[in-house]
Chain A
Amino acid sequence: MSIDSMFVHKMWNDHELSKMVKDGVPFPMLSDAGGKIGTLYGVYDPDAGVENRGRFLIDPDGIVQGFEVLTPPVGRNVSETLRQIQAFQLVRASKGAEATPSGWKPGKHVLNPGIDLVGKVWENWTTDMAFD
């Protein structure tokens, strides 16, 4: 979503993005002329007249589970976005019985929050696990 019109989105997709991604962008490119939606989400910069790089993860119940907002010069890490979605999906599927500690990625050890874990995280998780 950006402040550009849907016509400009079409031109960008057809003339540039489709050269990077076969068949073009697979999801809707939305228009937020005037920044009303960006303002609602706290990412519209009225001085610059554009949106900052905001990324929101919204779960199947419509609840915001996480977000990240960067100023324009620095791009995002899509792998990290996917990792977070996988982690939230795991937690949701376990109905909260499992939690993903720092550095978790699919296949890595999860934690089971509860009274037995109190004071025992050190037995289940080490600092090197926070990194790849």
Chain B
Amino acid sequence: MSEELNAGCERPASGPVEDVQAVEPIKELDNPMIKEKKMIQVGKKAPDFTAAGYHNNNFVNVTLSEHLGKWVVLCFYPGDFTFV
């Protein structure tokens, strides 16, 4: 499900995989400084992404769409060595 990485100095590319259109743009007309803001919506496709990570004593590259067919819990937290 994930591609193994070498522990070199280079940082593997991470970020959105494809169409950011999966996320509905919301226009904030009241504030002309903010052109538009993206917002996740329930019932809509989760934006795909690839990210480097650590798993089972390996450095790996993980892509969300490789996990289709399974339930996924995606958790964000402020930082390592804090609580979750």
> Is A110 in contact with chain B by the CB < 8 A criterion?
no
Supposing A33-B11, A58-B64, A62-B46 touch, asked if A1 and B79 sit within 8 A by C-beta, the answer is no
Interface core residue of A4, A62, A76, A81 (most chain B CB under 10 Å): A62
Interchain CA distance A26-B80 in the complex, whole Å: 16
Smallest distance from the beta carbon of A92 to chain B beta carbons, Å?
A: 9
Smallest distance from the beta carbon of A21 to chain B beta carbons, Å?
A: 11
- Mask for B54-84, Cβ within 8 A of A = 1, else 0? 1110011010110111111111111111111
Of A39-47, A94-102, A111-119, A122-130, the stretch lying at the interface with chain B is A39-47
What is the size, in residues, of chain A's interface with B at 8 Å between Cβ atoms? 59
- Mask for B7-42, Cβ within 8 A of A = 1, else 0? 100010011100010010000000000000011111
Interface core residue of B43, B60, B69, B77 (most chain A CB under 10 Å): B77
Residues of the A chain whose Cβ atoms lie less than 8 Å from the Cβ of B14? 30-33, 36-37
Interchain CA distance A39-B40 in the complex, whole Å: 10
A56 B73 Cβ-Cβ under 8 A = yes
Which residues between 71 and 111 of chain A lie within 8 Å of chain B, taking CB atoms? 72, 75-76, 81, 85, 88-89
Interchain CA distance A3-B42 in the complex, whole Å: 24
Question: Chain B: residues with CB nearer than 8 A to chain A?
Answer: 2, 5, 7, 11, 14-16, 20, 23, 38-49, 51-56, 59-60, 62, 64-65, 67-84
22 pairs, A vs B, C-beta closer than 8 Å? A1-B74, A1-B77, A6-B5, A26-B56, A28-B53, A29-B55, A40-B20, A48-B78, A50-B79, A52-B78, A54-B76, A55-B76, A56-B46, A61-B68, A62-B45, A63-B43, A64-B44, A66-B42, A72-B82, A75-B83, A76-B84, A85-B73
